[in-house]
Structure 1
Amino acid sequence: MPVNLDSLGKMDIFLSYQHLKTTLLCHIFVSYFLYNPTNSGAVQLNQGNLDTILASNELVIINFYADWCRFSNMLAPVFDDAADKVAEEFKEPGQVVMGKVDCDREGGVATRFHITKYPTLKVIRNGQPTKREYRGQRSTEAFVSFVKKQLADPIKEFASLKDLESMDDKKRTVIGYFDRKDVPEYNIFRRVATNLKEDCQFYVGFGEASKQMHPPGTPIVVFRPDKARSNEQDETFLGNLSVYDELNVWASEKCVPLVREITFENAEELTEEGLPFLILFHKPDDDDIIKKYNDVVHRELITEKQSVNFLTADGVRFAHPLHHLGKSQSDLPLIAIDSFRHMYLFPDIKDMEVPGKLKNFLNDLHTGKLHREFHYGPDPVENVPQIDGNKKPTTPPESTFKKLAPSKNRYTLLRDEL
């Protein structure tokens, strides 16, 4: 039977087309699962990919977890869902990655980041861990909102020097004066602002807006304190603006004050530092007493900064600790120590500015005198507490701020697992 060469040619073409079609479909199928994996959500981080991801992204949020931890398992689906939402919204490479670390498998990574509880949510900006962990609400919406806030421009640009007159004088401020934006010094200024935007407000002016404040070609950076709450003075950065570490260290020292305000948002972070609190409770608008307290702390107690946290607290918001002290808002202002076991009241706010009075009060905490005297009355001359067998020791008010520390209802605390 004669062979139809024309039919064979058409058959070859058909088979070639089918082979090409099958190959193309396979390629699409493989590509889909490579770039759209079924295990979507947060990126699994390990010793091999961690440094590359940190170095190539402006913002990385890491969930350090353990599979056996109940709170880790509660957070996992929420965090993965948030990671998907963030990936949809921020598609530009190098912006943000939400990652997760299995601490049982990656013990070296957990040690590197000093993980002491599960789950811990670390925030990394420009390759460097921030001072603050993520401690906000654990919902998809809250995580997405947090990412948006973190990626927002940390610097406000002013059009004229007059604009600076309307700055919030209850906040600490760093101001940059530059000829133009496309200079290396401004890139460094912006990196520092990104790291410290939760501690300071940052302003910048270019060209005509700032030329009165600096010589041509020589940018200047100035720190302006929270003048409503302290008597600190303006200070100009005298280091090299081309060296990131120099500017970052200087700005960090200026932006994080010796006396900090405690809020419900930062209380967990402050309690985790483990230092007793010396707290000025004040009326919301009483800036004068805050200034006086700042002055006393800077003048007399600065050497104690490694052993105590100096804080101010809105006495209306923190009415509960006042109640424990037997006080109310009508008794404001007042000073107290919270040792995380008990609270001790400074006898008279009027004595705050008497040289040595506040320092002695703090020393009495360290020596145990406050605790002894609360139980047994004033120490006798020989400094040995005498107990009346018929008198029951009293109990100092319990610490209320320890309840704002990392909670067993929110974390598995590693020290409790040992």
Structure 2
Amino acid sequence: MQFWSSRKCRCLAIFMVIYVFYNPTDSGAVDMNSENIDMTLASNELVFLNFYAEWCRFSNLLAPIFNEAADKVKEAFPEPGKVVLGRVDCDRETSIASRFHITKYPTLKVIRNGQLSKREYRGQRSAEAFLEFVKKQLEDPIKEFKTLKDLENLDSRKRIIIGYFDRRDMPEYDTFRKVATNLKEDCQFHVGFGDAAQAMHPPGHPIIVFRPDVALSHENDETYTGSLKNFDELKIWVQEKCVPLVREITFENAEELTEEGLPFLILFHKPDDTDAIKDYKAIIETQLLDEKQNINFLTADGQRFAHPLHHLGKSEDDLPLIAIDSFRHMYMFPKFQDMYQPGKLKQFLQDLYSGKLHREFHYGPDPSGNEVQTEVVMKGTSPPESSFKKLGPSKNRYTLLHKDEL
């Protein structure tokens, strides 16, 4: 009896040491290092990391704010395994900085269920904003529907993942929820249980269905056919469906897209011109799929992005139109309707890659022997400087470690 009591005490002591080590009670953000970071990431639903350098002015400005936010978060979510705000000194922990591909200070990254979010935190830098961000991240990412009729009212401009399950306490639903937590910024997630979902699947056989943004694309519904218990397999499938080849650029995501470093091929459209968006997406997906590693395919609300249009010498009355922003200059596709001619958009991209667009900008059109074609090209030989490069990471917000000239 004494042996088991002693063994129980030792186990409890070990547990307490581990708990205190990976869930510190000191005030401020938790110092992350090579000894504690992996366990911290694995044992918490959400980890919010501040990558900084002591010599960086912006890091020093952020430090007390992030520490204050850490205290507020601990007060709001005191239970273990929920959320940790951590900080990484990148000069000391160079291997961690390299692992997370840190290129500027301070960088704020989010890890959910041990999985790194592809989106950094780029919002307001205040303790209150950080707390609200954490609260938002910890909200249930899935909305429950009570009847199939509820699904008729979903937003047709959003990409949606729908799950049909017998009940919540299924391992398949646990996998579904974890995937939804990681990808809720890319898709809407909905779920039905029991009677609400039984018309869509036989008992004991839950299913997951992708519903595209039918108002903005020509895509069709698709059912997941892989393992519903395999997190990685389901996540890859959902990510492929939720992150489309053609994305919408907004002022909220422009910094993130610009930082990816790929030139933009942008359709500027009127807010209600869904036909142009659908056709543009369909042409990109059928003719330019092999170019996705070389360029970002985007759509942009021409009213919200009136400034780039102005630099192109265009206004809302000229929409829709297509342009390339190379982060040096902007080049306009001569005529929107030419998009429907097979190969025209691809040639436009090839002219960018070969330097033809840039060469004609400096020296005039290449000899073509065709007066009509030369005249069209000449209209595009004086493009303005890039508008979207200015929406990249600000010099007044970060210390940039690598500034590649694109």
Match of 2:388 among 401, 404, 407: 401
- The question of whether the paired residues in 1 share the 8 Å contact of 2:49 and 2:108 is answered with yes
1:114 aligns with 101
Deviation of 1:374 (Å): 2.8
Match of 1:253 among 231, 240, 259: 240
Deviation of 1:416 (Å): 5.3
Unaligned stretches of 5+ residues in structure 2? 1-19, 370-379
1:93 aligns with 80
- The question of whether the paired residues in 1 share the 8 Å contact of 2:360 and 2:381 is answered with no
Q: How does 1:11-410 map to 2 (within 5 A)?
A: 37=26, 40-381=27-368, 395-410=382-397
Provide the rounded CA distance (Å) in 1 between the counterparts of 2:229 and 2:36.
30
TM-score (norm. length: structure 2): 0.89
TM-score (norm. length: structure 1): 0.87
Provide the rounded CA distance (Å) in 2 between the counterparts of 1:277 and 1:304.
12
Instruction: Output one character per residue of 1:10-53: Cα deviation in whole Å (capped at 9) or x when no partner.
Output: xxxxxxxxxxxxxxxxxxxxx9xx9764xx21111111111111
Provide the rounded CA distance (Å) in 2 between the counterparts of 1:413 and 1:36.
33
Deviation of 1:395 (Å): 4.6
- The question of whether the paired residues in 2 share the 8 Å contact of 1:157 and 1:205 is answered with yes
Provide the rounded CA distance (Å) in 1 between the counterparts of 2:251 and 2:69.
24
SS at match of 1:191: helix
How many pairs does the alignment contain? 373
- The question of whether the paired residues in 2 share the 8 Å contact of 1:175 and 1:204 is answered with yes
Structure 1 letter corresponding to 2:33? N
Provide the aligned C-alpha RMSD in A: 1.7
- The question of whether the paired residues in 1 share the 8 Å contact of 2:24 and 2:30 is answered with no
Deviation of 1:378 (Å): 2.2
Provide the rounded CA distance (Å) in 2 between the counterparts of 1:276 and 1:35.
44
Provide the rounded CA distance (Å) in 2 between the counterparts of 1:279 and 1:79.
36
Provide the rounded CA distance (Å) in 2 between the counterparts of 1:148 and 1:266.
20
Structure 1 letter corresponding to 2:221? D
Rg larger in 1 or in 2?
A: 1
Provide the rounded CA distance (Å) in 2 between the counterparts of 1:370 and 1:303.
21
- The question of whether the paired residues in 2 share the 8 Å contact of 1:123 and 1:132 is answered with yes
What percentage of residue pairs aligned between the two structures are identical? 72
| Structure 1, 134-143 or 191-200: larger mean CA deviation | 134-143
Deviation of 1:144 (Å): 0.9
